[in-house]
Structure 1
Amino acid sequence: MKFTTNRDNLLKPLQLVTGVVERRQTLPVLQNILVSADDNGLSLRGTDMEVEMVAQASEGVTVVRPGETTISARKLSDIWRALPDGAEVSIEVHDDRAVVRSGRSRFTLSTLPASDFPGLDSTAADTEFNIARGDMQRLVRQTSFAMAQQDVRFYLNGMLLEVTDQHIRSVATDAYRLAMCTLSQGVAGVERIRAVVPRKGVLELARMVADNDEDVHCAIGKNYLRARQGPFSLGTRLLDATYPDYENVIPPMPDNRFVADRETLRSVFGRVGILSNEKYPGVRLGMEADVLTVQANNPEQEEAEEEVAVEYGGEKVEIGFNVAYLQDILGVLDTDSVRIAVSDSESSALIDGPGAEHSVYVLMPMNL
C-alpha cells in the first residue's frame, strides 16, 4: 500500500478516529487504526469494540498502490500533528512496516494485519432520520453534562435519545440533576424509540459535529446507533437498559419562581462559590421581594454573600444547591434570562430559560 496526501487533509480525520482508541487494550490491534486505500481514496477506522469512528478522505489523496493495514493510532496521530502545516506526506507499507515520509523526515512504524482488526456488529435499523447539525449539537450540549460517571446504575452513564412522531428528545441524569432538551420535530411513522447512548458515544458524537455544518443522518437499531455526517461516521453500541421514567421527575411549574439575567447570576455564583465548602460546594439562595441573596460558607468559618436584583413575587424561601451544578446549567442555557422555580426548601428546583421551554432542568436541593 502506498498513498500521498497533504498533512492538513488528514489532520481532523486522524484526530476523530484516534479519539475513540483507548491507550490500554487487551488486544494490541485495538491500539491501532485500520488504514485502507483504494480507487475511492482513503478510509480510517478506529474502535474500542463499543464505539467506532470511520473517516473517509478522497480529495487531495493520491493512491499509488491500494491496500490496507493497521498502524498505531497515537503514534501516527502524534507524528501528523508534529509535521508542519501544508506538508506533503506519503505512507508506504512493506511487510509489517509502514514508512511515513515528509520532506527530510522519515518515520518507520510497526503494523499489524488488517485481517486482525475487528468490526463492530450492528443490527438493522428500526428507524432512520436526518437532523440539522445545530439541532444535534443542542441535544447533546444541553444535556450531556448531567450524565453520571462510573455509576453502578450503568444506564445513568449515558444519554437517552427518544424519537417519536412528535419530537426528538435527549435526557441525561446522575440522580442529583436532570437535563432534558426537546426538538419539536418528529419522525413520521415512529411511535416511540428509546436509545440509551453510552457516555463515550455521546462525547465522540459531540466532537464529530463540532466543525461541520452538514446535516447528520441517524440510524437506530435494537442495540446500535450510527450517525453519519459528510465523510465521518460514528457507530456505538447502546446500553442494554431501561431508562428511568424521567417524566415523573419533572415537577409542574412551582409558584415560587424568580427571573434573573443569566450571565449576572452566573458571575455571582462564581464569586460566592469561592468560599463554599471545597468537598461539598453548596450555596444558599434566599428569595424575597425582588431580591435574591446568595450565601456560602466553609469549615474555616469564612463567608461570602451577594444580593442580586431579580423578578420575584413569591413567598420567602431559603434553599441550598450545589453551586457547580447550578453553573453547569447556566453555562449551557442559550437564553439571556434564567428562571428558577421552587415549591419549598426541600423540593427540587425547576430551571429553564423564559420563552425557551425546549430545555428544562431539575436540580435536587442540598442540605447546608
Structure 2
Amino acid sequence: MKLRVFAAPLAEAVAFAARALPTRPPVPVLAGILLRTDESGLHLAAFDYETAATTRVDAEIADDGTTLVSGRLLNEICKTLPKAAEVDIELSGSRLLVTSGTARFTLPTLPVEEYPQLPGVPDTVLTVQADTLADAVAQVAVAASTEESLPVLTAVQLLLEDDRITLAATDRYRFAVRELTVQPTGTLPAVKPKTGKKKDEADDGAVLIPAKFLAEATRAMTGEHPVAVGWSDGQLTLTTAGSSIGTRLLDGDFPRHRGVFPTPADAELTVTVPTDEALAALKRVALVASDKTPVRLTVTDDGQQLLLEAGHGDDAHAVDRIPCNTTGHLDGATIAFNPGYLADALKALTAPEARLHATSATKPALLTGHSGELADTDYQHLLMPIRLNG
C-alpha cells in the first residue's frame, strides 16, 4: 500500500469511521480502522459487531493494499495535521508510515486476517434530505431513555407509511413524535410478526433504532444532500455519497402514541408563549430547582401572563413571568413539570411560539409549536406533570 491524500478529507474520513470504534474493544482488532485501496481511492471501515461505518476518500494510489491500524491513534494524528497539507501513507512490513511535511509517524499494524467481515448494506427503503432527517431525529431522540435495563425505550421508532415517516421516542415520562415527508422506494423488507401476537398492519414499516446511534449518525451526515435509509435482517444502514453507517435494530413492543396522545381540541387550557422567552425564564427559575424539584406554571387571573416558580418555604425560591395568550381554564390553576424535561421540549421546538395544551394538572400535557396563524402539528411533545403535594 502506498498513496498520497490531502489532510482535510483524510481527517474527515477517519473521524467518520472512528464513530464505529468501541470504547472498550472486546478483542484488540476491533480497536482498528481498516484501510483498503483500489482504483476509486482509499476506503476506511470500522466495526464493533453492533455498528459499522465505511467511507471513501479520493487519493493518488501508487500501490494497492489493505492494513489495519489503531483507529483512535490515527484519528488523533489526522486531527493535528494542517488541513491543506498532503499526507503520504505507506505500508512497510508490519508498520504503517504516515508522513506530512516534517511530521512522520510509524504505526504498528494489527492482524487483518482476524478482522471480522463487515455486514452488507441493506437495500434502500427510503431517501430523505440529510439535514431534514438530522433535525427530526434531534427533536425526538431527546425523549429516549438512557436506562439500558429497558432497551426498547432507548430506541427511536421509525414508522414508514406511504411517503411519510413518523419518528417517536419515549422514556415513559415524556413522548416526542415527529412526522416528515420522504421518498419511499416502494418496497419494504419483510418483518416477522412478534411471537404470540397478531401481525399489525404497520409492522412492515416500523423499526426500532438505538437513539444514541441514530442521533450521532444523522448528525455526522448533515448537509444539503439526500441520505438513503435501508433495513433488513435486523440491520439498518444510512448511506450518502461514499459513506455509510449502520447498526443492529432493537426488538420489542414500542409504546403506542396514536389514540393515546391528547389532541389540542381535548385541552381544557391552551397557553401560548414566546419560545425563547419561555426558555430564558425557565433557565433562570430552574437555578433553584433540581431533578426532583418541579417548576410550577400558573396563568395569572387576567390570562395575560404565565408565572414560572420553583422552590418554596425555607428553600431557595425563584419566580419569573412571561407574556402569554390563553384559551380555556384549568381546574387546579397550577401545573408542574420536571424543569429539565420542559427545557428539552422547548428547545426541540423550531417555532417562535410554544403552545401548551393541558387537560388536567395531573394528566399528560401536549406541547406543540406555533408560527403566526399556523400550528406546527408535525412535531408533538407529550410531558407528564409532577403531582404537587397539598
Q: Deviations 1:62-109 (Å, cap 9, x if unpaired)?
A: 111101111101100101111223121111112221111112221111
Distance 1:4 1:166 in 2: 44
Partner of 1:290: 304
Distance 2:63 2:383 in 1: 58
Could you tell me whether the CA contact under 8 Å between 1:43 and 1:56 is conserved in 2? Answer: yes
Deviation at residue 242 of structure 1 after TM alignment: 2.3
Q: Which amino acid aligns with 1:301?
A: D
Partner of 2:195: none
Comparing 32-41 with 160-169, greater Cα deviation is found at 160-169
Distance 2:363 2:320 in 1: 23
Partner of 1:84: 82
Closer, same or farther: CA 70–185 of 1 in aligned 2, 3 Å: closer
Distance 1:5 1:292 in 2: 58
Distance 2:148 2:116 in 1: 28
Q: Deviations 1:225-259 (Å, cap 9, x if unpaired)?
A: 11111121111110022212222431232121111
Distance 1:239 1:65 in 2: 41
- Whether 2:215 is the aligned partner of 1:203: answer yes
Partner of 2:152: 155
Partner of 1:326: 342
Distance 2:230 2:217 in 1: 13
Partner of 1:63: 61
Give the RMSD, CA atoms, in angstroms: 1.9
Partner of 1:260: 273
Structure 2 residue runs of 5 or longer lacking an equivalent are 189-200
Distance 1:4 1:200 in 2: 35
Closer, same or farther: CA 12–330 of 1 in aligned 2, 3 Å: same
Distance 1:185 1:139 in 2: 12
- Whether 2:378 is the aligned partner of 1:358: answer yes
- Whether 2:176 is the aligned partner of 1:179: answer yes
Deviation at residue 287 of structure 1 after TM alignment: 2.1
SS of 1:360's equivalent?
strand
Q: Deviations 1:195-250 (Å, cap 9, x if unpaired)?
A: 1011342133223222x321011112141111111121111110022212222431
Closer, same or farther: CA 9–185 of 1 in aligned 2, 3 Å: closer
After TM superposition, the structure 1 = structure 2 runs for residues 37-76 of structure 1, keeping only pairs within 5 Å, are: 37-58=37-58, 61-76=59-74
Distance 2:368 2:80 in 1: 44
Q: Identity across aligned pairs (percent)?
A: 27
TM-score relative to the length of structure 2: 0.88
After TM superposition, the structure 1 = structure 2 runs for residues 132-171 of structure 1, keeping only pairs within 5 Å, are: 132-171=129-168
Distance 1:331 1:128 in 2: 30
- Whether 2:360 is the aligned partner of 1:348: answer no
Distance 2:79 2:312 in 1: 45
Distance 2:40 2:182 in 1: 36
Closer, same or farther: CA 248–154 of 1 in aligned 2, 3 Å: farther
Could you tell me whether the CA contact under 8 Å between 1:20 and 1:204 is conserved in 2? Answer: no
Q: How many positions carry a matched residue from both structures? A: 363
Comparing 289-298 with 259-268, greater Cα deviation is found at 289-298
Could you tell me whether the CA contact under 8 Å between 1:286 and 1:319 is conserved in 2? Answer: yes
Q: Deviations 1:339-360 (Å, cap 9, x if unpaired)?
A: 0011111011100012110000
After TM superposition, the structure 1 = structure 2 runs for residues 187-226 of structure 1, keeping only pairs within 5 Å, are: 187=184, 188=186, 192=202, 193-210=205-222, 212-226=223-237
- Whether 2:288 is the aligned partner of 1:275: answer yes
Structure 1 segments of 4+ aligned residues over 6 angstroms from their partners: none
- Whether 2:36 is the aligned partner of 1:36: answer yes
Closer, same or farther: CA 57–51 of 1 in aligned 2, 3 Å: same
SS of 1:147's equivalent?
coil
Closer, same or farther: CA 25–283 of 1 in aligned 2, 3 Å: same
Distance 2:255 2:68 in 1: 41
TM-score relative to the length of structure 1: 0.93
Comparing 196-205 with 265-274, greater Cα deviation is found at 196-205
Distance 1:124 1:76 in 2: 29
Could you tell me whether the CA contact under 8 Å between 2:174 and 2:381 is conserved in 1? Answer: yes
Closer, same or farther: CA 122–68 of 1 in aligned 2, 3 Å: closer
Partner of 2:198: none
Distance 2:29 2:170 in 1: 35
Q: Which amino acid aligns with 1:264?
A: E
- Of 102, 107, 110 in structure 1, the residue corresponding to residue 108 of structure 2 is 110
Partner of 1:313: 327
Distance 1:310 1:325 in 2: 21
